[in-house]
Amino acid sequence: MLLTVDLGQLGVSPGDRLLDVGCGEGRHCFGALERGARVVGLDLDTDSLRKGHGPLRARAREVGGSGAMLRGDAFRLPFADASFDRAICSEVMEHVHDYRGAARELARVVRPGGTAAVTVPTATSEHLYLRLGDDYFESPGGHIRIFRPRELADALRAAGLAPTGVGFAHGFHTFYWALRSAVGLPVSDANRLVQLYRLFLIRATTSRWLAWVEDAVLNRICPKSLVLYARKVA
C-alpha cells in the first residue's frame, strides 16, 4: 500500500480515532484500519468516496474495526472539538487558498496531546515540474502554491500543532510527474513512456529492494512529498 505518512511515526495504535482529511479513495484510512484504528475519511470528491467507502466498510467488518467515509469540507469539519486522537491531511494544502484556516480546523478536531501529519509536495519537485510545462499548475484542480517547509510549519504552529518531526516520501514519483509534465498532462495518460513508468511504480510497491532504494537514496535527494508531524498543544 502506497502511503505518504508513516503511521508508526504518527503514533497510530489500536483503538485510536483517526481522521483523514482529503482522503481520496482512502489509502491512509486502510493503512490505519489495519493498525486497529477507528477511521473516518473525508473528501469533497464524490467519485473517490464512492470507490473507497464500500471496500473500507467491508474491510472494517473483516477485522472487527470501524471505518467510514464522508463527503465534507476541510474548512468546516463536521466534528466536535477534540474528536480525534490522530489526523492526516495529505496532499491537500497546496490546493486550497486559505491553508492556515484549514490547519486551524484540523487542529480543532484533534484532542490535546494528539498528533497530526500534513504532507505537501516538496518545493524542489514543484519547481522542476514548473520548468517542464505549465499544465501541472494550470490544469483544473491543480496546485496553487509552492510551499517552503517553514511556511507550513509556521501555519501548523499558529494553529496549535507543534511540529515534532519531518519525513520525505515518493522519490520514484518525482520522475513520474516530471515525465508527465514534459509530455503534457492533458495527453500524458496516452503516452507509452508514462504507461510503462506507471507499471514500474506498481511493481515498486511490492519490491523490498526498490522500496529500500527509494527510502535510502531517492527520498534523500529528490523526494516528491514532504511530511510534517505535529502534536496538539495541551
- pLDDT at residue number 120: 96
Closest to 186 measured CA to CA, from 145, 133, 118, 114: 133
Q: Which residues pair with 120 in a beta bridge?
A: 226
Q: What's the average pLDDT block by block, 10 residues per block, for the chain (234 residues)?
A: 93 98 96 97 95 96 96 95 97 92 97 98 91 73 84 96 97 94 88 95 92 95 96 92
The Cα–Cα gap between 56 and 67 comes to: 6
- DSSP 3-state of 223: coil
pTM of the model: 0.93
pLDDT at 139: 66
CA nearest neighbour of 161 among 198, 82, 222, 108: 108
Between the alpha carbon of residue 218 and those of residues 164, 204, 211, 221, 222, the distances in Å are 23, 13, 10, 5, 5
The C-alpha atoms of residue 229 and residue 213 are separated, in whole angstroms, by: 23
Read off the DSSP letter of residue 144: -
User: What was the pLDDT predicted at 65?
Assistant: 94
pLDDT of residue 140: 64
CA distances to 6, 110, 175, 185 from 27, rounded to whole Å, are: 12, 20, 22, 24
Write down the H helix ranges in the chain: 7-10, 27-34, 46-63, 99-108, 123-132, 135-138, 149-159, 171-183, 185-188, 192-204, 208-213, 219-221
Q: Which residue has the cell 518531526?
A: 165
Q: What radius of gyration do the chain's Cα atoms show?
A: 17
Do the strands 84-90 and 17-21 form a parallel or antiparallel pair, or are they unpaired?
parallel
Type of residue found at 1:
M
Identify the structural domains of the chain with CATH numbers, from first to last: 7-171+223-232 (3.40.50.150)
Q: Specify the pLDDT at position 141.
A: 64
